[in-house]
Amino acid sequence: PEEQELIESFRSVDRLSDRHVDDLQDLIRQQWWGGKRTREETERMLRHTSLIIALIDRSSDKLVGFCRALSDFTFRATIYDVMVDRDLQGRGLGQRLLKELCGHPKLLPVSLIYLACEPELFSFYERHGFKRYESRAHWMMKVQRSEGD
């Protein structure tokens, strides 16, 4: 019951105000990978992202959780940047973000949803239906630029 009350004290949105972009920038800076990302890069990322879900604290109007997906809305989607404010982690907000993103009407027709995460988060994502991807195909990556340069 207490956890449910906490979860209900946040509203979800799929678009951000300027103020919420500032909050998102603060949330990004909490991440091990986000320290050098600029406001301009964050705004560009938001413009070109297929779908976002953000959690906003109803009492303070502060963005405290965020995730996004890139998708063709038919065959594939890839989830990026699942984040919850450090002070609120472990209280079901990450679960809510995933449920709302994966259950969004735009993503329901998608065949496969991918994500990358650190090994210590495998069990969290497995509880939400994700499996380690072992297949004939392997992911590859090309570094076009060093982030933050």
Map 39-66 to HEC letters. Answer: HHHHHHHHHCCCEEEEEEECCCCCEEEE
Give the global pTM. Answer: 0.88
| Res. 4 pLDDT band, cuts 50 70 90 | low
| Helices and strands (H and E) in the chain: how many | 5, 5
Residue 106 has pLDDT above 90, yes or no: yes
pLDDT at 1: 53
Q: What is the pLDDT of residues 18-40, one digit of tens each?
A: 999 999 999 999 988 888 889 99
Coil/strand/helix, residue 13? strand
| Res. 44 pLDDT band, cuts 50 70 90 | very high
Q: What is the pLDDT of residues 77-87, one digit of tens each?
A: 999 999 999 99
Percent of the chain with pLDDT over 70: 94
